[in-house]
């Protein structure tokens, strides 16, 4: 079974290293100094939870054409990096290839096989010009919610902080053979990869946090524990999450917890600088469209007012534009 991880940075590097350690036939697509370091020395994975530090030989490439057709292509790019590289990914894709979308935010395939009047709706915020819808085709897609926290601390070195769950789910909720096979391969690599019948419910619980905590942290430079307990920012996060809840429930989502519990979960993470704040600090493009703009777009599609989301989106977009990152 051939697996390619496309965009093997923090999350893809972690997943790729675990698969390689378990003997899977895995290759990684990366670029720049990180690619060069992995080529020269292998991928060093430091796992904080277990205290392990191992350098894993990995097959890496910049050009997908070197790797050929795959059974699974696991996309672990930042959301905005995917549409421009759909063309370059084509050599990896054959008739039986499954594309696993391991990207935060509302996925571009959200309305595929959802049923009802919105079936097949495309999302311009995450898939401008329908690049993924037409270039991959939604039938190839297996959804994935990424829970681990990891970072590239220097080229060729991934630090895994915590978590090992990659929930998988078919857009139609079925327990397909392709989902089961990948789940087994990830489990053999020591990762948790349950196949979920209602992945969209999980997407929204994760998104609740990313939608609100990430832009608020980028605007205030506060860590999660602070922004989730400060009465003012907690109120802003709560308002955004309640708007998102109305949208999601109109789309058939059932939340297993309420917003206050989700915010308490964020606070419990501690003095974490969200990925959007890290991107701003490091001068990297920010995932604003996938995490915030996409929910605003869903608000428009479902006829739901989103005043709090609109306000924070306007502020964080301008903050990012002023920094040249959006």
Ligand X SMILES: CC(C)(CO)C(=O)C(=O)O
Active site residues: 206
> Does residue 209 touch ligand X according to CB under 6 A?
yes
> x/- contact string, 104-123, with ligand NDP (CB under 6 A)?
x-------------------
Buried b (16+ CB within 10 A) or exposed e, 258-274: ebeebbeebbebeebeb
Residue whose tokens read 């990869």: 193
Please say which residue, 58 or 241, places its beta carbon nearer to ligand X. 241
Q: At 27, give phi and psi (nearest 5°).
A: -130, 155
Q: Residue 209: which of ligand X, ligand NDP, none does it interact with, CB under 5 to 8 A by kind?
A: ligand X
DSSP for 226-266, please give it: HHTTSHHHHHHHHHHHHHHHHHHHHTT---SS-HHHHHHHH
Residue 268 CB, nearest approach to ligand X (Å): 11
- Select from 95, 96, 105, 157 the least CA-distant residue to 127: 105
Tokens coding 60: 């890496």
> Does residue 294 touch ligand X according to CB under 6 A?
no
Residue 239 CB, nearest approach to ligand X (Å): 16
> Does residue 226 touch ligand X according to CB under 6 A?
no
CA distances from 291 to 2, 103, 134, 281 (A): 30, 10, 22, 18
Residue 149 CB, nearest approach to ligand X (Å): 7
Report the alpha-carbon distance of residue 212 to residue 274 in Å, rounded. 11
Q: How many CB atoms lie within 10 A of CB 69?
A: 15
Q: Are 81 and 87 in contact (CB under 8 A)?
A: no
Please say which residue, 214 or 304, places its beta carbon nearer to ligand NDP. 214
Residue whose C-beta lies closest to ligand NDP: 9
Q: Residue 145: which of ligand X, ligand NDP, none does it interact with, CB under 5 to 8 A by kind?
A: none
Please say which residue, 245 or 275, places its beta carbon nearer to ligand NDP. 275
> Does residue 78 touch ligand NDP according to CB under 6 A?
yes
> Does residue 34 touch ligand NDP according to CB under 6 A?
yes
Q: Residue 269: which of ligand NDP, ligand X, none does it interact with, CB under 5 to 8 A by kind?
A: ligand X
Q: Are 314 and 303 in contact (CB under 8 A)?
A: no
Q: Is 41 helix (H, G, I), strand (E, B) or coil?
A: helix
CA distances from 105 to 37, 61, 91, 322 (A): 30, 27, 26, 23
Residue 263 CB, nearest approach to ligand X (Å): 10
> Does residue 10 touch ligand NDP according to CB under 6 A?
yes
Q: At 102, give phi and psi (nearest 5°).
A: -100, 55
Stretch that binds ligand X, among 131-139, 160-168, 265-273, 294-302 (CB under 6 A): 265-273
Stretch that binds ligand NDP, among 4-12, 173-181, 240-248, 299-307 (CB under 6 A): 4-12
Residue 303 CB, nearest approach to ligand X (Å): 27
Binding to ligand NDP (CB under 6 A) within 248-287 occurs at 275, 287
> Does residue 272 touch ligand X according to CB under 6 A?
yes
Please say which residue, 29 or 141, places its beta carbon nearer to ligand NDP. 29
Binding stretches for ligand NDP (CB under 6 A): 7, 9-12, 29-32, 34, 76-79, 81, 85, 103-104, 146, 149-152, 275, 287
């Amino acid at each position: 079974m051939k697996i390619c991880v496309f965009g093997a940075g923090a999350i893809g590097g972690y997943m790729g290293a675990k698969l390689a350690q378990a003997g899977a036939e895995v290759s990684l697509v990366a670029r720049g100094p990180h690619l060069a370091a992995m080529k020269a020395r292998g991928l060093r994975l430091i796992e904080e939870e277990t205290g392990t530090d191992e350098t894993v030989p990995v097959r890496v490439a910049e050009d997908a054409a070197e790797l050929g057709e795959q059974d699974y292509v696991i996309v672990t790019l930042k959301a905005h990096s995917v549409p421009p590289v759909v063309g370059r990914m084509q050599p990896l894709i054959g008739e039986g290839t499954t594309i696993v979308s391991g990207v935060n935010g509302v996925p571009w395939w959200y309305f595929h096989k959802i049923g009802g009047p919105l079936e097949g709706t495309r999302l311009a915020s995450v898939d401008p010009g329908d690049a993924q819808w037409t270039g991959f085709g939604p039938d190839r897609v297996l959804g994935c919610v990424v829970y681990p926290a990891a970072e590239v601390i220097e080229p060729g070195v991934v630090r895994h902080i915590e978590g090992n769950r990659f929930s998988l789910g078919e857009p139609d909720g079925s327990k397909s053979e392709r989902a089961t096979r990948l789940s087994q391969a990830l489990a053999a690599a020591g990762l948790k990869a349950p196949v979920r019948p209602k992945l969209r419910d999980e997407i929204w619980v994760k998104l609740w946090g990313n939608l609100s905590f990430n832009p608020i942290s980028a605007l205030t430079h506060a860590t999660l524990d602070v922004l989730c307990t400060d009465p003012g920012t907690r109120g802003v996060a709560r308002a955004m999450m309640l708007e998102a809840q109305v949208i999601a429930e109109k789309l058939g989502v059932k939340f297993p917890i309420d917003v206050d519990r989700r915010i308490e979960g964020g606070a419990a993470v501690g003095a974490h600088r969200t990925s959007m704040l890290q991107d701003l600090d490091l001068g990297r493009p920010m995932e604003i469209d996938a995490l915030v703009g996409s929910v605003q777009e869903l608000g428009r599609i479902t006829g739901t007012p989103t005043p709090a989301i609109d306000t924070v989106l306007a502020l964080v977009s301008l903050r990012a534009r002023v920094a040249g990152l959006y």
